Amino acid sequence: MKDGSPLVEFEATASFAAPAAVAAAAPAPAAPVPAGGRGPSLAGAIDDELPLSPEEIDRFATLSGKLLDRRYQVGRRLGEGGMSYVYRAQDTETGQSVAVKILLPRLSRDPAAVERLRREAEIARRLSHPNVCPILRLGEGDRMIYLVMPYLEGEPLSEHETRRGPFSVAEGVPLLLQMCHGLGHAHELQIIHRDLKPENIMLVPDGIDERRDPKYRAVVMDFGLAKERRAGPEVAKLTATGIVLGTPEFMSPEQIRGKPLDGRSDVYALGILAFEMFTGQLPFAGKSAQDTMIARLRGSPAKLRDLKPELPSKLEAVILRCLAIDPAERHQNMEELAYAFEGVAATGLIGRFFRR
């Protein structure tokens, strides 16, 4: 499978034993998310990297059956993204099934990016929570850089949305609570995600509920692996460095401007993700990713209940606060945001099931 996003393609498995449970302008019309693509085109907003040579493509796309670093027996290829090929593999030392992400050469040619990846991968190894996917190892050898992660059985939230359509409150709020708990754990370790989006959330089957509907565990993936992109002229003049880090449709205003980030940037991205979960659309419209980025700096989001009047006003208020331009006006941390989502659950029919 391929969604065009960096470092997101990866299936998962029950072999990962989760730890014990401890995540002023007028509003613009919402932007639809077309099936099979992530929002508007990036043309004009972000400079594309140089394409891989045929030799490089062949080398990274044909690793099945090989032994990587004398330890990982590489199996079938699961998918690819903008910066990686992803394989299922067997750790010959532990017997564990893992996912191996082979990073493409364009990353390894950037010393600053490699050093940032080393630093953040080391920090991400400390993650231990049922709603986050840790990095088990960052390997460098045989002229490649690769990441080893638990292999989880499930599907990305993006594919679930495409297959099933928008979520109901009863389906979506419990998943958002789990994301808040996982992200809160990461923030306690001073790890900011910076690239939160549906492609980076894995839904792992987790039994059935009282109505015999399937339940899912939401697992946040790819901490610290946001893709660095050079901004186009219109966006570059709004940033501190001319470089944007992450996926344009989900960046916070301070991330677009290249300012220092804290957990409130992830609060903003989770607000955009939640808006899309319940409506199937993005809260900021534009003909290009550049337009939507500028709208987030200067405009106001679409109203949730203009698109879905049946949704509760309290949910609209929670998401709208996530999307405040000024971080000081947002929910200040994931614990606060989780409490707000719990309030939405408690006022509806699902309150008796999800009240904590």
pLDDT at 16: 29
Q: What is the mean pLDDT of the chain?
A: 78
pLDDT at 3: 35
Annotate 259-268 with b (16+ C-beta within 10 A) or e (fewer): eebebbbbbb
Q: How far apart are the first and last CA of the chain?
A: 37
Tell whether 233 is covered by a domain: yes
pLDDT at 63: 85
This prediction's pTM: 0.77
267-323 pLDDT tens trace? 999 999 999 999 999 999 888 878 888 888 888 899 999 999 999 999 999 999 999
Range of the domain at 219: 155-354
Tell whether 327 is covered by a domain: yes
Tell whether 321 is covered by a domain: yes
Look-up of token digits 């907003």? 45
Tell whether 282 is covered by a domain: yes
91, 195, 222, 291: the catalytic one is 195
Residue 234's identity, in one-letter code, is: E
CATH number at residue 315: 1.10.510.10
Neighbours of 199 (CB within 10 A): 25
pLDDT at 37: 47
- Active-site annotation holds for 209: no
Crossing angle of helices 334-347/169-188, nearest 10°?
Answer: 160
Total domain count, the chain: 1
Tell whether 80 is covered by a domain: no
CA distance 331 to 196: 16
pLDDT at 354: 41
212-244 pLDDT tens trace? 888 999 999 987 654 444 434 444 444 444 455
